[in-house]
Structure 1
Amino acid sequence: MKDTTRLILAGGFLGAGKTTLLFKATQLLMEDGKRVGLVTNDQASELVDTSFLLRTQVNVAEVSGSCFCCNFKGFTDSVLQVKQEARADIIIAEPVGSCTDLSATLMQPLKENFNKDLVISPLSVLADPLRLADILDGGTAGLHPSAVYIFKKQLEESDFILISKADLLDKKELDALKEKVEATYPFATVLAVSSKTGEGIKEWLKLLETSTSIGQRILEIDYDTYAEGEAVLGWLNGTVTLKGVKTNWNKFVTDFLNDLATQIDKMQLGVGHIKVLLEIEQEYITGNITGSSETLSIRGEVGNSDFAQLTINARAEITPEILDELIKKVLKRTAGDNIDVKTKAWKFLKPGYPKPTHRYKNVIYPCNDKS
């Protein structure tokens, strides 16, 4: 048996649906008898993604405190750790949603230095269809222009572009969007996928095994614009414990997110994403906001109980201090007098200037990559 593990990098802007896709892909791979590992990434700990993906019952490693490209050793150490502990056939890694330049900072050094341990798959980038359509039409999808710059650069360097959440569009709309993406990015393989229906995911995983287009483009990146695109976002990660007698936690999550979405609309905030995960033992609810209140979605259901844990990840175009104040006010208002809120972990920040460990100027062609 060969001692190699396939590594899949699945990037894309905040709110693209990466984590849900990883969850679904992992389930499909495990059903096919594959051993799977996952690596998540963020600027701070207390990740909704990690807690959610642990429910796949696979080995999950988290690189927090910096992005993969700025902590390349931390990233590769985590990949090799998962490879060993899980004896993984496949590892899927999810970079920070505001990162770009991954071909130069991750794909090339991986191909040059880890070719014996890992089979590197094409760089896949997910894009929310509504944001994608607006930006291709010249809009900003409610984002700062520098954030749009990151969004576009992610697509420009991709080997595979996955139009995520394909179930949000009818066939005619989806076909038209796919045609426009293929015309704009003719070098990429374009697929429509849906974590809700499973559409396109098996096809994507199969194509990754045979494609030889692996990190084929290195872009010119204006790092000042890139840094601004990250810095316009306030970041908040927090986990709280909740205590209330026989509380209806389904209603709690719904009320919390509806109130938060209303405040976002009033403040006209650009939102990268806001994610929540409420857990009661094996039961859980997830919630997402990726823009205005119209983007709010809630999945899952839990029973009434006295205790719950809530993890919140928020990325919005506002200072971290105001984001912190906003989240705390809405949380306090939702809890009212009947629910006791205790902070387990809480951090808000603004990302620093990106300083990648490596930045290759040329495409590397290891033996398993060059056609």
Structure 2
Amino acid sequence: MIGGFLGAGKTTLISQLARRFQAEGKHVCVVTNDQAAGLVDTELLRSQGLEVNEVAGSCFCCNFHGLTGAMEEFESRQRPDVILAEPVGSCTDLIATISLPMMEQMGERFLHSPYAVVLKPSHGLKILSGEGKGGFSQKAEYIFRKQLEESEIILINRIDELTAEQVATLREQLSEQYPGRQIICLSAKTGENLDALWETLAAEASSREATMEVDYDVYADGEAELGWLNATVSVTAAKAISIDQLAQQLVDRLRQAMLRVQAEPAHLKILCSSGSHVAVANLVSSDTPTMLSIASDAEAESLSVIINARVCLDPEALTGMVRDTLDAMASDSGLTIQVDSIESFRPGRPEPTFRVQQ
């Protein structure tokens, strides 16, 4: 299980790890997780040829049987050698609600690797310094910190985007604030230092003499601070257009709309596809640029678009922002844009299926 805050780079890392396992001849399956159906990560990993099941509608901890059912469904077709699981990026307390209950109930079937949490540098540099909240309240920051607290391994990701000084600062802050954790600096995008993580994941998870304390009232309020939006959109052009440019332009337009109302994005991810061609663009904070994480290098006249937005904004306002941005883009560029589905909400209070207390 690879945890971490929204926009930390978990999906890219899981994709890299999956390819490593496949190169060793292992059958790899992935379980993704979201508060609603229509997840970019699921479609992206499937487009890369991976076998993926999605647990939608709640986090793993609140749908333990959904997770185990997704794992058993893989086994009904071909038993996996490795299962990689990606929990919702606003979720914490996963050792007590997932790892330990699964070890108790299904321990004879699975070996658990150490629990790794991916650090998101853009917000981590602000939160760990204590100088700012990264655009979020203290309650949302509480989730960010609890994720780090329950980790066995902390992964400082995106080092290809950081200076050596920033990496050193993060490592020092983490060592001081979360002592005893192994810290690995890597880039999921380039694969830099992935070998160190690979060796660490080969070990078994450590026994937990105590689970961490979690204030579920603060946790629930922190999650509810975010507006959650998933949408699917159809785009038609009079002549072939760049799939990559469409993805980037849509993220850029939404970024500007968020800046105008000072709405901090936890993560905005857009997947544009046409046939086998896929492009993914994303935004991980208000002060970072739009990134084209997956390039298609292709053009098309008809495209499918999936929008996943997790923003510190009222869900109704977020829906209006996305619809207005799509309308403006259609008007400015002469595209025909149709919203096929759109859903927005605030996550409900987490109610774990099981919680082991030690």
Residue 135 (structure 1) aligned to one of 124, 127, 140:
127
TM-score by length of 1: 0.91
Residue in structure 2 matched with residue 301 of structure 1 by the alignment: 296
| Separation of aligned partners in 1, 2:73 and 2:320 | 38
- Identity rate, percent: 36
| Separation of aligned partners in 2, 1:216 and 1:328 | 50
1:18-57 matches, within 5 Å, as 18-57=10-49
Residue in structure 2 matched with residue 367 of structure 1 by the alignment: none
Amino acid at match of 2:109: D
CA 114–229 in structure 1, closer or farther in 2 if over 3 Å, else same:
same
1:12-91 matches, within 5 Å, as 12-91=4-83
| Separation of aligned partners in 2, 1:105 and 1:156 | 15
| Separation of aligned partners in 1, 2:78 and 2:344 | 33
Residue 180 (structure 1) aligned to one of 173, 185, 197:
173
Deviation at 1:217, TM superposition (A): 4.6
Bigger Cα displacement from structure 2, 37-46 vs 83-92: 83-92
Amino acid at match of 1:315: R
CA 178–29 in structure 1, closer or farther in 2 if over 3 Å, else same:
same
| Separation of aligned partners in 2, 1:216 and 1:122 | 15
Amino acid at match of 1:320: P
| Separation of aligned partners in 2, 1:323 and 1:154 | 26
Deviation at 1:112, TM superposition (A): 0.7
CA 216–348 in structure 1, closer or farther in 2 if over 3 Å, else same:
farther
TM-score by length of 2: 0.94
CA 223–212 in structure 1, closer or farther in 2 if over 3 Å, else same:
closer
| Separation of aligned partners in 2, 1:176 and 1:255 | 33
Residue in structure 2 matched with residue 365 of structure 1 by the alignment: none
The runs of 5 or more residues in structure 2 that have no matched partner are none
Residue 232 (structure 1) aligned to one of 225, 233, 248:
225
After TM superposition, the runs of 4+ consecutive aligned structure 1 residues lying more than 4 A away are 214-217
Matched, 1:115 2:97: no
Bigger Cα displacement from structure 2, 348-357 vs 124-133: 124-133
Residue in structure 2 matched with residue 193 of structure 1 by the alignment: 186
List per-residue Cα deviations over 1:230-260 (Å, max 9, x = no partner). Answer: 1111100011111112242333223222111
| Separation of aligned partners in 2, 1:26 and 1:342 | 35
Residue in structure 2 matched with residue 98 of structure 1 by the alignment: 90
| Separation of aligned partners in 1, 2:209 and 2:297 | 46
List per-residue Cα deviations over 1:109-152 (Å, max 9, x = no partner). Answer: 01111111111111111111232121111021122221100000
1:272-311 matches, within 5 Å, as 272-292=266-286, 294-299=288-293, 300-311=295-306
Residue in structure 2 matched with residue 354 of structure 1 by the alignment: 350
| Separation of aligned partners in 1, 2:218 and 2:166 | 32
Residue in structure 1 matched with residue 214 of structure 2 by the alignment: 221
Residue 323 (structure 2) aligned to one of 324, 328, 345:
328
Cα contact 2:122–2:284 (8 A) shared by 1 = no
| Separation of aligned partners in 2, 1:80 and 1:203 | 30
The runs of 5 or more residues in structure 1 that have no matched partner are 1-8, 363-371
| Equivalent pairs, count | 354
Root mean square deviation, CA, Å = 1.6
**What's the secondary structure of 1:291's corresponding residue?**
coil
Residue 197 (structure 2) aligned to one of 189, 192, 204:
204
Deviation at 1:293, TM superposition (A): 5.2
| Separation of aligned partners in 2, 1:71 and 1:195 | 28
| Separation of aligned partners in 2, 1:86 and 1:116 | 18
Cα contact 1:122–1:211 (8 A) shared by 2 = yes
**What's the secondary structure of 1:104's corresponding residue?**
helix
Deviation at 1:192, TM superposition (A): 1.1
